[in-house]
Amino acid sequence: TSPLDVAKIRDDFPILNTQSASGRPLVYFDNAATTQRPNAVIDAMSRCYREYYSNVHRGIHTLSEASTGAYENARATVASFMNASTTSEVVFAAGTTAAINTVARSWGDQNLSSGDVILLLISEHHANIVPWHQLAERVGCRVEFIAINDDFLIDDEAVASAIQTHQPKLFAFGAASNTLGTEYPVKRWTQLAHDVGATVLIDAAQAAPHWQLDVQDWGADFVVFSGHKVCGPTGIGVLWGRESLLDSMPPFLGGGGMIDTVTTDGFTSHSLPEKFEAGTPPIVEAIGLEAAVKYLLQIGMDNIHAHERQLGSRADAGLREIAGVRVIGPTPKHKGGINSFVVEGVHAHDVSQFLDGQGVAVRAGHHCTMPLHNAIGVSATSRASCYFYNTIDEVDVFLQAVSDVRDRFAKTGRRRRSRESRS
């Protein structure tokens, strides 16, 4: 049984009580792409705009003080959500992608050079690949990948041996794969990389929504995530970095807010975290993110994880029983609420469109993990990703719809060209 009162939780999310375009109840299973927002988030943002919105850190008028206070309170709440030891380490960025690019430009340009190695997992999201390819083009370093085995897993030995072989300067990996659903042992792998003196960046985009983040326990050097995947707004995310490391890095974006002094000859940087927050920051988004993480904490990260693991394992088992369906991912023991799959003879886009007609929203494509799809030898998959507000009944609606897919498409044999799909 689930530790959550899901019926009560669903009342907090207006969109979950809407109907799909097909006129059926909406089954929202695209949570790995983005989550939905509870009233607590929508109301907190709307209250700010209605009652105390102003720019931060600039004016000394009452409204500016109110919004500055709220913005800094949001930072303190997010710091405690991640168990950061100080708010100086919590930089608001536009999202995971922006945070990783900031590290690549600032820390990467300063610390990597020709012959150095950046080590990644083959399951990385493009956001944790492309900035490193770009860095490699700039400074001449190399990007290496750790492969998955036939069970879609990466074991400790493979990680340890890649680290020994490549002696990377940076080991950057997703705490959980947005395609395979695999949850990786963040603390152990961080330790293995630290043993050879590597810096470690954790892409927690698929972890922050589901497990208790603990940057001090993990021991990594950078941890990043996005607001919109934790029931918060788009346009905001977090770059957490070890204080001494952030202190030693040059600012990436220059402009207002990030300086101490500016003269006709140059500038000096502000202290942390403002040094990395040039320009007007995402003020209302930070307030929304605070409301979101408070909402998650009130439900309880352990409860969230337990509930979605139940849904995920039921979906996994059900998919494996349907003839012609192949699950692209490890067994439930190793993953959370994400299940990617292919239906023999039917393109993933057709699967997704058929499911949409049944009211079930799933993602189709490469989910921004092309190297992983190439390694597996499939060009596209369908992905069902659930969250704490989903129900077992919804999993059953989804499974019924998938089992109907083949009957429908076996007759027509339609194919669709692969399109770029964001995740």
**Contact positions vs ligand PMP (CB under 6 A):** 33, 95-97, 125, 127-128, 174, 178, 203, 205-206, 226, 368, 423
Backbone phi and psi for residue 269, each to the nearest 5 degrees, phi listed first: -85, 155
Least spacing, CB of residue 204 vs ligand PMP, in Å: 8
List active site positions: 368
Backbone phi and psi for residue 95, each to the nearest 5 degrees, phi listed first: 165, -175
Q: Would you say 99 or 117 has its CB closer to ligand PMP?
A: 99
Q: Would you say 68 or 102 has its CB closer to ligand PMP?
A: 102
Rounded distance, CA 87 to CA 100, Å? Answer: 19
Rounded distance, CA 243 to CA 197, Å? Answer: 18
Bridge partners (DSSP) of residue 170 are: 118, 199
Q: Would you say 20 or 421 has its CB closer to ligand PMP?
A: 421
Report how far apart, in Å, the C-alpha atoms of 206 and of each of 34, 179, 211, 222, 237 are. Answer: 10, 10, 9, 15, 13
Least spacing, CB of residue 131 vs ligand PMP, in Å: 11
Q: Would you say 310 or 423 has its CB closer to ligand PMP?
A: 423
Q: Under 8 Å CB-to-CB from 369, ≥6 apart: which residues? A: 123, 124, 125, 126, 177, 178, 179, 423
- Cβ-count burial of 150 within 10 angstroms (0-12 exposed, 13-18 middle, 19+ buried)? exposed
At CB < 8 A and 24+ separation, what contacts does 318-323 make? 318/395, 318/396, 318/399, 318/402, 319/399, 319/402, 322/399, 322/402, 322/403, 322/406, 323/406
Q: Is the distance from CB of 239 to CB of 260 less than 8 angstroms?
A: no
Terminal Cα-to-Cα distance of the chain (whole angstroms): 30
Least spacing, CB of residue 93 vs ligand PMP, in Å: 9
Q: Would you say 203 or 308 has its CB closer to ligand PMP?
A: 203
Least spacing, CB of residue 96 vs ligand PMP, in Å: 4
Least spacing, CB of residue 305 vs ligand PMP, in Å: 17
| Token pair 């192949």 in the structure block, residue | 326
CA 336 to chain centre: 13
SS3 label, residue 344:
coil
Q: Would you say 131 or 318 has its CB closer to ligand PMP?
A: 131
Provide the strand spans (E) within 175-221.
199-203
Q: Token digits for 203? A: 């892409």
Least spacing, CB of residue 127 vs ligand PMP, in Å: 4
Q: Token digits for 103? A: 């590290």
Least spacing, CB of residue 195 vs ligand PMP, in Å: 25
Least spacing, CB of residue 381 vs ligand PMP, in Å: 14
Provide the strand spans (E) within 165-288.
170-174, 199-203, 222-226, 237-241, 259-262, 267-269
Exposure of 227 in the CB half-sphere (CA atoms within 13 A): 30
Q: Would you say 289 or 346 has its CB closer to ligand PMP?
A: 289
Report how far apart, in Å, the C-alpha atoms of 339 and of each of 165, 310, 319, 334 are. Answer: 32, 12, 9, 12
Q: Would you say 67 or 101 has its CB closer to ligand PMP?
A: 101
